[in-house]
């Protein structure tokens, strides 16, 4: 059994989609100093600031999902995951469309010599992809649910801990792959939000709570809110009940 870091079973993950450190610190300063958050560092922030941004956020006591969505040949992903295993994060990810061999190699590379590792999950289909795009651009003949389920099954068989999917697919994944297989779901919007932005497959935090989502990933509805703390608290209340 791998020694996996202890984080809450259910949580709201805030996507820190900011161009650099100054904006991140400004945003984090909206929260009480002793509030422990679960945040997501994506490509924009990581490529701008490098690994030091992880240490900075960690020093404030927050949990971190490093969302770099790796997708390359198995050997390259394995070696890159070995590098990421040296960073102090709680969760990393890759694209399930890279295939099972790539996912197994990733897991291998990410597991430290002493057997410890953080969580590793696979992106199924982006929440900005809809059925039309799946069929007409990606030329995938199966429907969205079938495609996402198959990718999730591949991830589970490869030994991964869960998937990134839309909240619309979370329940089917839980039913097929069991409660322990994690569902991490972006595409969250409040009922009052008048824009979906670029997201297509969306749900409110309240509905996500009863839809088999373990973690919801929320970006703009919190980061761009007039009062980010209030928006975050509302999100937690809706999703977690406290």
Question: Which residue stretch of 80-88, 97-105, 120-128, 228-236 sits at the interface with ligand C5P (rule: CB under 6 A)?
Answer: 120-128
15 touches ligand C5P by CB under 6 A: yes
Tokens, residue 170: 């979370």
Distance CA 1, CA 228 (A): 39
Question: Which residue stretch of 31-39, 78-86, 99-107, 217-225 sits at the interface with ligand C5P (rule: CB under 6 A)?
Answer: 217-225
199 touches ligand C5P by CB under 6 A: yes
Active-site annotation holder among 69, 135, 150, 200: 69
Tokens, residue 113: 């010599």
Q: What is the number of other CB atoms lying within 10 angstroms of the CB of residue 117?
A: 20
Contact of 57 with 24, CB cutoff 8 Å: yes
**Known catalytic residue: 69?**
yes
Q: Which residues pair with 39 in a beta bridge?
A: 14, 64
Q: Which of 91, 120, 123, 225 binds ligand C5P (CB under 6 A)?
A: 123
Q: Which of 28, 134, 217, 235 binds ligand C5P (CB under 6 A)?
A: 217
**Cβ proximity to ligand C5P, 107 vs 188, nearer residue:** 188
220 touches ligand C5P by CB under 6 A: yes
The strand ranges marked E within the chain are 3-4, 11-15, 38-42, 63-70, 91-95, 116-117, 119-123, 162-164, 182-185, 215-218
**Cβ proximity to ligand C5P, 156 vs 188, nearer residue:** 188
Return the active site residues.
Answer: 69
């Amino acid at each position: 059994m791998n020694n996996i870091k202890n984080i809450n079973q259910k949580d709201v993950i805030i996507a820190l989609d900011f161009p650099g450190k100054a904006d991140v610190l400004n945003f984090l300063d909206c929260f009480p100093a002793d509030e422990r958050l679960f945040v997501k560092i994506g490509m924009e922030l990581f490529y701008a600031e490098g690994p030091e941004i992880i240490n900075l956020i960690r020093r404030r006591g927050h949990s971190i999902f490093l969302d770099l969505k790796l997708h390359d040949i198995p050997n390259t992903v394995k070696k890159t995951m070995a590098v990421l295993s040296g960073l102090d994060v709680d969760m990393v990810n890759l694209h399930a469309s890279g295939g099972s061999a790539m996912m197994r190699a990733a897991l291998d590379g990410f597991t430290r010599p002493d057997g410890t590792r953080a969580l590793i999950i696979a992106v199924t289909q982006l929440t900005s992809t809809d059925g039309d795009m799946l069929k007409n651009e990606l030329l995938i003949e199966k429907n969205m649910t079938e495609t996402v389920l198959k990718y999730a099954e591949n991830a589970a068989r490869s030994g991964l801990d869960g998937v990134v999917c839309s909240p619309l697919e979370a329940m089917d994944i839980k039913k097929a792959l069991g409660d322990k297989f994690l569902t991490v779901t972006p595409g969250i919007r409040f009922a009052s939000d008048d824009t979906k932005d670029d997201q297509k497959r969306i749900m409110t935090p309240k509905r996500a709570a009863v839809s088999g989502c373990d973690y919801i990933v929320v970006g703009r509805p919190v980061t761009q809110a007039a009062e980010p703390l209030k928006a975050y608290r509302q999100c937690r209340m809706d999703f977690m009940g406290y």
